[in-house]
Amino acid sequence: MNLQRTVQVFCLAIFLLLSTAAAFRYTGWLPHDLFLRLDPAAALLTGIAARVWLVGFLAAGAVLALTVVLGRFFCGYLCPLGTVIDGVDACVAKPGARTGNIPARWRAAKYGVLIFTMAAALAGLSLAFLVAPIPLVTRFFALLVLPLIQQLADLLLRLAAPLADRFDLTSLLYLQLPLPRFYLQWLTLFLMLLILAAGRWRSRFWCRCLCPAGALMALCARRPVLRRRVTDDCIDCGRCTRHCPTGAIGEDPRTTSHGECITCQACRRVCPTQAVVFARPRPLNGAGPRSSFSQYRRGLLLAGVSGLGTAAVTLSGARHLLGDTGTRRVIPPDLIRPPGARPEDDFLRRCYRCGACLEACPTNTLQPYGLSAGLPGLLTPVITPQLGPCEPTCTTCGQACPTQAIRSLPPAERLWAKVGTAHILRHKCLAWELDRKCLVCDEVCPYDAIVLKQEPGLKVAVPFVMEKRCSGCGYCEHHCPVEAVPAIVVEPMDALRLSSGSFRRQGRAIGMDLQLRSKKPPPGEVASPYPLHEGTDGQGLPPGFSE
Amino acid sequence: MDSSPLLPAHRQPEPSAHGFIDRRGFLKQNVRLLLWTFAISAGVRLPRVNAAGDTPDIAVAKGDRVAATRAAVDLLGGMARFVATGQKVIIKPNMSFAGGPEDATDTHPDVVRELVAMCKEAGAARVRVLDHTLRREERCIEGVQKACEVFGDDVVQAISRSRFFKSAPIPDGRQMRETEVMREVLEADVLIAAPVAKSHSSSGVSMSMKGMMGLIYNRGIMHSRYDLHESIVDLASLLTPALVVVDGSRVLSSNGPGGPGRVLKADTIIASTDMVAADAQAVAMFEWYGRKLQPRNVKHIRIAHERGLGRMDVENLRVKQVQA
C-alpha cells in the first residue's frame, strides 16, 4: 500500500476510533471532534451564520493555510469522507468513471455551492449540515453505522450467552452494550447515498463538483508552493492523465489544474519515466489550465442570490417565530432542547447537526429532529423523554458539541439548565382519572418536583408538578406507565436558554428552585424545605397505607 | 435388633424372618451406613444447627449491621439451612436509587456483602446480586458493587435488557397471570430477598414483596393495568424467597421510595423464611410518618395473609430477638 492510502486508512481509523470513543464518552488527549474542527467549510459557514469566531476554527484555518503550501492535501489524505468515497468508488465505479471527463461547468458547481451556502449563512441560515463534508460523515457514522455495529455485537453476545453461562463468564453474560437508536436513519442514509452513488459515474464526484470545503481549498490551492511538475523525461504516454482520480491533469500531461489536484500523487506512481514530481515550480514550467471560475461569474452571482433568497424564504415562514420572545411564538411541544442549548436562533446558526451530542448522550434521549420546526430545525438535537430521561448531572452533550451550540456547563450550572416543564394530563393519569395508586412520577423525580395532595372526591393522593422545582428532565414522562401519550409530559415551557452568563443566577432570579433530592440534612430531620407529603389517604393514614 | 441412631424410622432396616440379620441385609445396612457417613461428613444432609422447635419464625437482631445480619440468619438456623453446597443463589437487595447509605433508599452494601459471604461459606457454587434498577444502572449498583468486590467484580449486576428476561406463568396469580422474570432467577436454586425497610408513597411500604418487582421486566404494567397491591401479591406467589433479610439498619420512614424523608437509625435486621411475616414485622416495629401502624394497614401484606402466602399476625408468631 502506498503512502497516500496508508495515511488515508490511518486517518479514517483515527476518525472511527474517536467517534466510537465519543459514543462511550471516552475523553483522551485527542479531541473527539478533531476532524470536525478541521473542516473549513463547516467553520466558515458557521462563523458567518452565527457571527462568531471560535477557537475551534483555528484548526480549519490552519488547514487552509497549509493548503496554500501543499495543495488539497486534506482531500487526498485526511478527509474521512474522501477516503470512504475512494473505497466506494473502487467498488461501484462504471468503466470509465476514472478516466471520463467532467465538464468544467459542473466542476465549478462546488464554488456555486460554497457561495450559495455562504450567502444563506450571511442571511442567518446555516446549511453547513447539508453540505460540509465532516459533519455529514460524522453524522452518518454516529447515527447509522455505529448503532448498527452495536446491534450486531449485541446479537453476537446473545448467541454467546449459553457459552458464557456455561463457563461462568458473568461479566460477558451480563455485558449490556449501549444500543442507541435514532430517528430519521433513512434520511441520514439517503444524504450519504446521494454522495456515494455519484461515484458510479465519475470518481470523487462529490469532491470535484459539490464539496464546499473542496471549493474553499481549491481557491487556496490555485498555485500551491509545492505542486505537481513534469520534467523533460515525459514521454507523453498519458498514463497520468488516465489515472488521475480528480481529472486534474489535462490532455497534455504537463498541465495541471492545481485547484482540482488532491495531491494523491497517483500520477507520480504510475509514471514510467519518473517524470512527475511534487516540488517548487520552475519558472515557465507547469503553467496549465487553471481551476478557474471567472467564466462562471454569472452563475456564481446567481448562486449567491439564490442563497440569500433561500434564507429569506426559509426565515420568513411562521416556523421561524421560534426564536421570538414576544407574544408571537410558535414552539412545537416536542422541541425540547438539550440542557445548556443557546437561545434558539443562536443555537440553530451554530449547530452542525453532526450528531456528536446525540451519539454521546448516555440515555439516548437526544434525537435528530424532523421538520416540525422547519428546515432550520432539521436534524437538530431534541430531548425525547419517552426514549430516555435527561440525567440532571450529565454534561455530556455540552462537552461533545464542537461549536458550543450546547454550552459545556460545570455540574453546578448544569443542574439549573432547565429544558422544559412537566405537565400532568389529568384525563390520562391513573390517580386523577381512575383514582388508582400509582405515583411513579413522584417516585422517579430526581428534583422532588412532584407533590402528592389529597383532593376531594378521590381516595388516593394525586400528583401536582411544582414548576419551580421542575427542570424538565423527563424522568416522570419516561417512567409514566400510561401508554401512547404518557399522563405526564414535558414541554419546552420556561426552558432557560442563555448565550452567556450563569444559569443558576438566572434561574434564581426568576424564582426557580432546582436541586437534587439527595441533598439533605442529617438523619432524623425533615429534608426538603417543602412539607412532607401531607397524605391522609382518605382514612387519615400516610400515603400508600390503608385501613 | 438395634436401630441405627442416624437413620430416620422409615429407613431402618427390616428385621429379617429369623430375627437374625441376613447377609443381604447386613450388606445393605453397611452400604447405607457408609453413604450416610459420607453425606453427613460432607455436611449436606443435616442442618448444622438443630432446627427443632426452638427456631423462631422471625429473627430480630439489633446492633452493628454486619454482625446483626449474621446473627439474624443464625437464629433461623444459619445460612446452611437455606443454601447447600453447589447451589446457585440469587440475592435481591434494593439498589434502585443512586443515593448513599444515609438516604436509606437502598439496602446497605455491608448487609449485602455479609449475605454473599454467608452464602459462599455455605458452599454456594454461584452467588449473584441482581436488580432491575430505576435510575442509571452503574450509579445505582456502585455501592453494593464496591462492597462485593472481594468476591470478584462480577457478582453484582444491574439488568435491564429484555433478552435477560423470560416469560413465566403465575399459576396463583389473580390479576397478573404472567410476567417476564430474569432468566437467571428462574434457573436459580435459592432466592434471598434483602430489601431495605422503607416507606412507599403508593404501596405503603416497599420491602421483600414489593422488592420482587426488581426482578421482572415490565413493572409499569403493575401500576397501570393491575391493582398494584394485588399484583404485588401475585408476583410474590411466583417469586417466593427461601429467606428474607430486611435491612432495618436505617429506615426510610417517610417520603419513600425515593426520599428525601425521615431516616430512622434503627440498627435492626429482621430475618424470616416467610416474606409476609418479615415485612409485617418491619411494619409493626418501626414508626411510619411518625406514627405506629399495623401490618394490615399495608394492603399487599393484608392480601398476602388472606391468600395464605404467609402470616402478618406477628403477635402470634415466635419472634426471637438478640443483640449482635
B22 belongs to a structural domain: yes
Q: In chain A, pLDDT over 90 holds for what percent of residues?
A: 70
Amino acid at A535: G
Report the CATH number at residue B144.
Answer: 3.40.50.11440
The grid coordinates listed for A113 are 455551492
DSSP SS3 for A491: strand
Q: How far apart are CA A170 and CA A532, in angstroms?
A: 42
- Please check the confidence at residue B143 and state whether its pLDDT lies above 60: yes
Give the CATH architecture of domain A421-491+528-547.
2-Layer Sandwich (3.30)
Would strands B190-194 and B243-252 be described as parallel, antiparallel, or unpaired?
parallel
Q: Enumerate the residues of chain A whose CB falls inside 8 A of the CB of residue B249.
A: none
Query: DSSP label at A209?
Result: I
Coil, strand or helix at A489: strand
Return d(Cα A74, Cα A58) in angstroms, integer.
15
Whether B116 and B237 map to the same domain: the answer is yes
Tell me what pLDDT residue A347 has: 95
pLDDT at A253 over 70: yes
Query: Are residues B16 and B95 located together in one domain of the fold?
Result: no
Q: Is the pLDDT of residue A326 over 90?
A: no
| CA pair distance B117, B136, nearest whole angstrom | 27
Nearest beta carbon to residue B159 from set A174, A483, A532: A174
The answer to whether position B131 is within a domain reads yes
Q: Which of B244, B297, B163 is nearest to A162 (CA)?
A: B163
On whether residue B33 sits in a domain, the answer given is yes
CB proximity list for A34: less than 8 A, separation 6 or greater: A14, A15, A18, A59
Task: Identify all chain A residues contacting B136, using CB atoms and an 8 Å cutoff.
Answer: 362-363, 391
Alpha helices for A282-401 (secondary structure H) = 297-316, 344-350, 356-360, 396-400
User: Does residue B310 contact residue B276 with C-beta atoms inside 8 Å?
Assistant: yes
Q: Distance between CA A110 and CA A104 in Å, rounded?
A: 11
**Residue B231 contacts residue B175 (beta carbons within 8 Å):** yes
> Looking at A320-334, A354-368, A434-448, A480-494, which range is the least confident one?
A320-334
In a domain, B235, yes or no: yes
Check whether B46 has a pLDDT greater than 50: no
In a domain, B72, yes or no: yes
In Å, how far are A117, B170, B257 from B224, measured between CA atoms? 51, 18, 18
Burial letters A438-473, b for 16+ CB under 10 A, else e: bbbbbbbbbbbbbbbebeeebebbbbebebebbbbb
Q: Chain centroid to CA A239: how far?
A: 41
| Domain boundaries, given as residue ranges, for chain A | 3-222, 329-419+498-516, 421-491+528-547
Interface test with B, best of A394, A545, A546, A547 (most B CBs within 10 A): A545
A25: left (phi over 0), alpha (psi -120 to 50) or beta: left
List pLDDT tens digits, range B283-315: 999 999 999 999 999 999 999 999 999 999 999
pLDDT of B60 above 70: yes
What's A488's DSSP letter?
E
Closest Cα to residue A213, out of A14, A64, A8, A10?
Answer: A64
pLDDT of A524 reads: 42
- Whether the per-residue pLDDT at A189 is higher than 50: the answer is yes
B261 to chain A: which residues are within 8 Å by CB? 527, 532
pTM for the complete prediction?
0.80
Best residue in A174, A459, A533 for a mutation probing chain B (most B CBs within 10 Å)? A174
Least reliable range by pLDDT among A53-57, A347-351, A489-493 = A53-57
Does residue B2 fall inside a structural domain?
Answer: no
Q: What is the pLDDT of residue A275?
A: 94
Angstrom distance (rounded) from CA A471 to CA A390: 10
Q: Specify the pLDDT at position B98.
A: 84
Per-residue pLDDT at A494 exceeds 60: yes
B66 lies in the same domain as B179: yes
Nearest chain B alpha carbon to A445: B258
Contact between residue B253 and residue B199 where contact means Cβ atoms under 8 Å apart: yes
Of A64, A65, A62, A69, the residue nearest A225 (C-alpha): A69
Nearest to B223 among A481, A542, A547 (CB): A481
Are residues B96 and B37 both part of a single domain? no
- The residue with greater pLDDT, A294 or B129, is B129
Residues forming beta bridges with residue A383, ordered by sequence position: A366
For residue A276, give the 3-state DSSP assignment.
strand
* B76 and B37 fall within a common domain: no
Between chains, do A545 and B204 touch, taking CB under 8 Å as contact? yes
Q: What is the pLDDT of residue A317?
A: 83
Query: Does residue B162 share a domain with residue B227?
Result: yes
Residue written as cell 486517518?
A11
Report CB contact under 8 Å: B228, A391. Answer: no
Q: CB distance B293–A541 less than 8 Å?
A: yes
Q: Which residues 230-269 of chain A have a CB within 8 Å of chain B?
A: none
Between residues A330 and A534, which one has the greater pLDDT?
A330
Q: Per the CB < 8 Å rule, is B99 touching A541?
A: no
- CA B227 vs. chain centroid, Å, equals 24
Residue indicated by cell numbers 390520562: A428
The reply to whether B48 falls in a domain is: no
Tell whether B62 and B191 lie within a shared domain.
Answer: yes
Q: What is the per-residue pLDDT across A404-431, written as a single tens digit (0 to 9) for each?
A: 999 999 999 999 999 999 999 999 999 9
Mean pLDDT, residues B275-287:
97
At residue B292, what is the residue type?
Answer: K
Q: Do residues B212 and B110 both lie within one domain?
A: yes
Same domain? For B82 and B13 the reply is no
Give the residue among A432, A363, A392, A344 at the shortest CA–CA distance from A515: A392
Out of B154, B257, B260, the one facing A170 most closely (by C-beta) is B154
Residue A525 has pLDDT above 80, yes or no: no
Q: Which residue of A has its CA nearest to B162?
A: A176
Q: List B127's β-bridge partners, or say none.
A: B89
Strands B243-252 vs B268-272: parallel, antiparallel or unpaired: antiparallel
Task: Look at the block and give the residue holding cell 438523619.
Answer: A523
Same domain, yes or no, for B30 and B62?
no
Asked if residues A255 and A282 have their Cβ atoms less than 8 Å apart, the reply is no
Average pLDDT over chain B, rounded to an integer? 88
Residue A158, pLDDT above cutoff 80: yes
H or E element, residue A171: helix A170-173
The chain-wide mean pLDDT, for chain A, equals 89
Q: SS3 for chain B, per residue? A: CCCCCCCCHHHCCCCCCCCCCCHHHHHHHHHHHHHHHHHHHCCCCCCCCCCCCCCCCEEEEECCHHHHHHHHHHHCCCHHHCCCCCCEEEEEECCCCCCCHHHCCCCCHHHHHHHHHHHHHCCCCEEEEEECCCCCHHHHHHHHHHHHHHHCCCCEEECCCHHHEEEEECCCCCCCCEEEEEHHHHHCCEEEEECEEEEECCCEEECHHHHHHHHECCCHHHHHCCCHHHHHHHHHHHCCCCEEEEEEEEEECCCCCCCCCCEECCCEEEEECCHHHHHHHHHHHCCECCECCCHHHCHHHHHHHHCCCCCCCHHHCCEEEEEC
A491 and A418 Cβ atoms separated by less than 8 Å: no
pLDDT above 50 (res B100) = yes
* Interface pTM, i.e. ipTM: 0.78
**Mean pLDDT on A1-20:** 94
- Please choose, from the candidates A147, A171, A159, the residue with its C-alpha nearest in 3D space to the C-alpha of residue B158: A171
pLDDT the model gives residue A289: 54
- DSSP symbol at A341: B
- Contact, A264 vs A256, CB < 8 A? no
CA distances from B145 to A494, B112, B123, B141, B207 (A): 39, 10, 21, 6, 21
DSSP-based three-state secondary structure for A382: strand
Q: Considering only CB atoms, which chain B residues are within 8 Å of A535?
A: 201, 289
A21, pLDDT greater than 60: yes
Please determine, for residue B45, whether its predicted confidence score (pLDDT) is greater than 60.
Answer: no
Selecting from B99, B164, B250 the residue whose C-beta is nearest the C-beta of A523 gives B250
Dist CA A394 CA A384 (whole Å):
16
* Range of the structural domain that residue B16 is part of: 9-41
The pLDDT of B72-77, averaged and rounded, is: 96
Please check the confidence at residue A292 and state whether its pLDDT lies above 90. no
What is the gyration radius of the CA atoms in chain B, in angstroms?
22
Q: What is the pLDDT of residue B20?
A: 61
My answer on whether B18 and B63 are in the same domain is: no
pLDDT at position A95: 86
Number of domains in chain B: 2
Q: Is A418 helix (H, G, I), strand (E, B) or coil?
A: coil
Alpha carbon of B186: minimum distance to chain A alpha carbons (Å):
14
Residue B120 Cα to chain centre, angstroms? 15
In terms of residues, how long is chain A?
547
Chain A residues touching residue B259 (CB < 8 angstroms): 517-518, 520, 527
Q: Per-residue confidence at B51, pLDDT binned at 50, 70, 90?
A: very low
d(CA B164, CA B217): 9
CA dist., res. A188 & res. A348, Å (int): 19
Comparing B84 with A280, the larger pLDDT belongs to B84
* Alpha-carbon span B301 to B279, nearest angstrom: 7
| B31/B84 same-domain check | no
Q: Is A519 exposed, middle or buried (0-12, 13-18, 19+ CB in 10 A)?
A: exposed
